[in-house]
Chain A
Amino acid sequence: MNWMLALPEIVLACCGLGILVFGVLRKQDSALICTMMTLGAFLIAGLLVLTGLPGIGYHGQFVSDSFSGFNKLLLLSGAALTAILSLDWNRQAGIARFEFPVLMLFAVVGMMVMTSASNLMTLYVGLELQSLALYVLAAFARDDLRSSEAGLKYFVLGGLASGLLLYGVSLVYGFSGTMDFHELRTLLAQPGNASPGVIVGVVFVLVGLAFKISAVPFHMWTPDVYEGAPTPVTVFFATAPKVAAMALMLRVMATTFGPLLASWQSLIVIVSIASMLLGAFAAIGQTNIKRLMAYSSIGHMGYALVGLAVGSPEGIRGVLVYMVIYVFMTAGTFGCIMAMRRKGQPVENISDLSGLGSNDPGLAMALAVFMFSLAGIPLMSGFFAKLYIFLAAVQGGLWTLAVVGVLTSVVGAFYYIRIIKIMYFDAPVEAFDRRPPALSFVVAATGLFTAFFFLFPAPVVDAAQLAAGAIFR
């Protein structure tokens, strides 16, 4: 048994336990030092992922390949960015407790297990470890009614989704006799083995996973949770768990249930179209920027699912490139949102951005870059994300998806550039408080990535290509 395969997860979990004990035993305020230690743990885990060897271990329960490596690095960076952003916010909001980074860390362990799952059981264990940590995080501002509501809502609906997923898993196991991804794939490759029971099970698994990436019609929790949860938690929700759930979905659907593509493809197409439409149209009327980002993320998951609907390595590559670009531009956008603070109090209305172009040109320019990128306007990274997705869709002959996709992106562009309009064309209102340096750092780093991705797209695309190829082996 090659236990070394899971070394990053093991190390990270041990670090988590260590930081927890340290935080409990240390009497004074230890949020800062615990966050720093967590960042260090992420860094170590990232290095271990980079140097890790590929292989299957734990009796086929756990797989480490370039696909899992790619996604682990991505979700670790998403989590690290969130941790940096959370520092100043939590202190100002009075929720700077050491449990915050520790919970994030355990959620990340769960996500890493998810991306490496090669058995329906591992999948479920990873998913639950992640979800439980996230439930607590959503309600982390205990004294805030909205935060508690967000946590409860997420918990109830998330529990339901987990139940559906588990039910699907049991159906698949019952009708096929195995939970191993590889065995399932060989089994289902024979058309005779694809009994209706298995297909119903696949649909339930799909539903459970669609909930996690907040695809329509399983998106109801997203706007409320995004709005209610403390903003650092929202950033976290918008980045790392999406990566993990999408990675899981890609692996399970495209390879394990890949032979059943004809059965589930139309489902993904419908979910994808519905997400793109809802993401585009429902966001128009929003006045709260966090809610707007929630709808925007629903739309973006719709675009990413286009790649999955194609089901080919090109499609998977498209999704992976999309996720990388999505994580960085979303983290950056939320960085800008966190800078919206007057007299120590956070403000969340879109109209509060009025005149930011003259009050704080640097922040306005960064937010403009993110908005143009989210809208998919060229030279920004968001354009490339959509380019690879639509390329795969055209290649796969999914013209409906491609046409709906580009048209909804125009509708989406409307509300993204409306934000730019508010920042640059409207009369200035009171300026925001000084930005903390950590926040400026995250915004600048992600902004540079977003604006200058076009110069060096090859490394990311090549890595995604490699990763996409790995799951089809």
Chain B
Amino acid sequence: MNEAGFPLLSLVTWLPLVGGLVILSIRGDEATVAANARWTALWTSLIVLVLSLVLWVKFDPTEPGFQFVESVSWLPEYQVGYKMGVDGISVLFVLLSTVLTPLCILASWESIQTRVREFMLSFLILETMMVGMFCATDFIVFYMFFEAVLIPMYLIIGVWGGPRRVYAAMKFFLYTLTGSVLMLLALLAMWLYAGTTDIQTLMATQFPPAMQKWLFLAFLASFAVKVPMWPVHTWLPDAHVEAPTAGSVILAGVLLKMGGYGFLRFSIPMLPDASAYFAPFMFTMSVVAVIYTSLVALAQEDMKKLIAYSSVAHMGIVTIGMFTFNEQGIHGALFQMLSHGVVSAALFLVVGVVYDRIHSREIARYGGLSDRMPCYALVFMLFTMASVGLPGTAGFVGEFLVIVGAFQVNFWLALLGGSGMILGAAYMLYLYRRVMFGRITRDDLRHILDLSPREWAVFAPLIVLTLWMGIYPSSFTSFWDASVAAMVKHHQAALETTIKIAGMTH
């Protein structure tokens, strides 16, 4: 049995689905159903959050391998099992998902008025799929969760989204599906080569360098779309703009992390030679993403679109950090993913607050809000600063570590990657100035209300997390110290063996 004494990860994974069944069984008129569905979804996700906090308490950071392991035979003759477990890399992503879900449900309390039951159901299914994906330690199980995330997200964008929701939902679905089916082929090839789909065994398997390159490209097709990397990022602005606030939050907060997590879980440890071979390519793409999308963000007229482009830039920093293959870089990448998960989620919620009141995301529509909404101005300022990377907020630590890691690889990489911080400051402060400062010109803005208690409840945990991560980062980095050290060591050892073999044959 595992550390918790009961199948904790399965419980955290599948409990939302049970909540979904309860929501399905609610009967009554529309208002009752909506109210009950909201409360059921909130309570379910809160219980899941509390359960997942056991992970925070009981997780042993000194152990680099998987913990809370569960294993049930599923297709025994093909060496496929339902296997769950978390290590230092995945444990905080599980927590990120379980923290963001109740906040999203709370944030859509009033903004979702049609088909509430179906919305809450989709959200709980989404939580199951996200958590399951981060917990899976079998490749087939991982793949199933990875793709099944598409179904609820497609519906969330398509049913409760904005005017161009159908286009955005289809684009989101087809882009990500194309990537993942190619990964499926890579998965099958690895399965046949190694005879198992157990992730731990696959990590220890040495794939031939020629095969690694193909596998890497197939993985790249899938994870690059999810991250998203330039030039396959075009689905993201569309999806973000059209999705309802809660959908954008989960999209930015968790779904983008699935790509980064995929690189760290599969590409780098399983395919060390190919990762090293393709690293310059990855750096180039990431630097282009950082600079190009930052410039694009400067020119946006739509708040959500601006934040969406800034997400692409921030994720570019993440991919730079991963492919430096040193401890600082990978630490930075992980930290940046977590902080981006919290900060960009919060920024989308910030946009959601004014969208709920005025029903417009156009920047020019606002101006001078700081007069009427001082608390809102404070919250917005905090997250803007965190997104810019002000020391003392979550955004700083990750970017700083990545740049330190990048310096060890190449001066220009660090310089160009670091320019993202400057450009980030430019577009975020520009956004802030246009929305918050100036004079109020429109009548409806004169009567706009400041944050309600419910909205405070949504923002409070995110504010605490942002400051905590910025001021005392080691309470988070300690989770993955051992795992990252083991990963870097494994990577270097693998590269040395390949060089040795190459030396022997020549």
Contact = CB atoms under 8 A, between A and B. Distances in A.
Interface in B74-113: 74-77
Interface stretch (A68-76, A211-219, A453-461): A453-461
Contacts of A457: 74-75
Q: What are the 9 A-B residue pairs with the smallest beta carbon separation, nearest first? A: A406-B181, A378-B144, A394-B188, A378-B147, A410-B178, A425-B158, A379-B148, A378-B148, A391-B188
Nearest to B125: A379
A409 B148 CA distance: 15
Interface string A419-460: 011001100000000000000000000000000001001100
B381 interface: no
What DSSP secondary structure best describes chain A's contact surface? helix
Size range of the interface on B? 35 or more
13 contacts: A377-B150, A378-B144, A383-B144, A391-B188, A402-B185, A403-B185, A409-B181, A413-B173, A413-B177, A420-B154, A425-B165, A425-B169, A454-B144
A377 B176 CA distance: 12
Contacts of A377: 147-148, 150-151, 177
Contacts of A61: none
Contacts of A407: 178, 181
Interface in A347-395: 357-358, 361, 372, 377-379, 383, 387, 390-391, 394-395
A406 B182 contact: yes
Interface residues of A, number: 34
Contacts of B148: 377-379
A166 interface: no
A310 to B, nearest CB: 12
A457 B173 CA distance: 26
B191 interface: yes
A414 interface: yes
Contacts, number: 82
Contact of A394 (B74, B115, B145, B192): B192
A458 B75 contact: yes
Given A391-B188, A407-B181, A378 B173 contact: no
A463 interface: no
A466 to B, nearest CB: 12
Given A379-B148, A425-B159, A417 B185 contact: no
Contacts of A372: 151
B23 to A, nearest CB: 13
Contacts of B185: 390, 394, 399, 402-403, 406
B12 interface: no
B75 A410 contact: no
Contacts of A358: 115
- Chain B CB within 10 Å — which of A394, A403, A409, A461 has the most? A394
Contacts of B189: 394
B54 to A, nearest CB: 26
B191 A421 contact: no
Nearest to A424: B159
Given A378-B148, A383-B144, A458-B75, A421 B177 contact: no
B289 interface: no
Interface in B181-219: 181-182, 184-185, 188-189, 191-192
Given A413-B173, A413-B174, A457-B75, A424 B155 contact: yes
B166 interface: yes
B178 to A, nearest CB: 5
Nearest to B144: A378
A394 B192 CA distance: 8
Contacts of A391: 188, 191-192
B170 interface: yes
Given A377-B150, A457-B75, A421 B181 contact: no
Contacts of B181: 406-407, 409-410
B30 to A, nearest CB: 11
